[in-house]
């Protein structure tokens, strides 16, 4: 059950989360290869926004532990998905784009960024993406805005660009 404290919503079983720094909380059930990467991205977002971020449990839907999903994941998580973060009472999926091929032309780079955003939006409401400085800002903005405008949902994209941070969301109509 969610608890409300100072107008902030928390995931269930917050007592099982480990506090890392001032704003980052990681579930003991968040294990695996993505753990260090998700802690790094969450720490960046928390330091930039000065807000709490929760790294959610990873509980696969088709395992013996699947019944734990209802108990440990906040309401609203899609039954077969594992979003990485719970931030501002919304689900956020983290994507690192530093491994994409930078030698592609601008159209291919835009398509790759949009593809990663589509993946994130299948998992969560919003996306936290790390984009390398080798990709021009104009490509980032056009890719993200193109993806947001083509979506029927109101997503927010949090962007880590080197040590810079910015947010892009679908414009109100």
* Predicted local distance difference test score (pLDDT) of residue 95: 94
* Predicted local distance difference test score (pLDDT) of residue 33: 86
Q: What is the CA radius of gyration of the chain?
A: 16
CA geometry: angle at 152 spanning 88 and 100, to 5°?
A: 75
Cβ partners under 8 Å of residue 125, min gap 6: 90, 91, 92, 153, 155, 156
- As a whole number of angstroms, the distance between CA 152 and CA 166 comes to 22
* Predicted local distance difference test score (pLDDT) of residue 166: 96
* Predicted local distance difference test score (pLDDT) of residue 8: 45
Q: Residues of the chain with pLDDT > 90: what percent?
A: 65
Cβ partners under 8 Å of residue 56, min gap 6: 11, 27, 30, 73, 74, 77, 82, 83, 84, 85, 86, 91
Sign of CA pseudo-dihedral 51, 89, 73, 80:
negative
* Predicted local distance difference test score (pLDDT) of residue 22: 95
Q: What is the largest CA-CA distance in the chain?
A: 48
Query: Low-confidence residues of the chain, pLDDT below 50?
Result: 1-8
CA geometry: angle at 30 spanning 90 and 114, to 5°?
A: 50
Sign of CA pseudo-dihedral 153, 78, 112, 127:
positive
* Predicted local distance difference test score (pLDDT) of residue 102: 67
Closest Cα to residue 160, out of 130, 132, 117, 135?
130
* Predicted local distance difference test score (pLDDT) of residue 1: 36
* Predicted local distance difference test score (pLDDT) of residue 173: 56
* Predicted local distance difference test score (pLDDT) of residue 5: 45
């Amino acid at each position: 059950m969610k608890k409300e404290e100072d107008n902030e919503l928390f995931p269930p079983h917050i007592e099982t989360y480990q506090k890392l720094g001032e704003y980052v909380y990681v579930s003991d059930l968040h294990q695996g290869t993505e753990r260090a990467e998700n802690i790094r991205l969450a720490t960046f977002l928390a330091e930039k926004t000065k807000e709490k971020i929760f790294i959610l449990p990873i509980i696969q839907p088709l395992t013996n532990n699947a019944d734990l999903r209802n108990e440990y994941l906040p309401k609203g998580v899609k039954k077969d998905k594992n979003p990485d973060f719970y931030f501002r009472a919304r689900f956020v999926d983290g994507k690192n784009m530093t491994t994409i091929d930078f030698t592609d032309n601008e159209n291919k780079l835009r398509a790759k960024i949009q593809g990663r955003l589509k993946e994130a939006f299948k998992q969560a409401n919003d996306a936290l993406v790390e984009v390398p400085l080798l990709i021009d800002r104009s490509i980032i903005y056009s890719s993200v805005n193109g993806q947001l405008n083509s979506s029927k949902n109101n997503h927010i994209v949090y962007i880590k660009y080197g040590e810079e941070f910015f947010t892009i969301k679908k414009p109100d109509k």
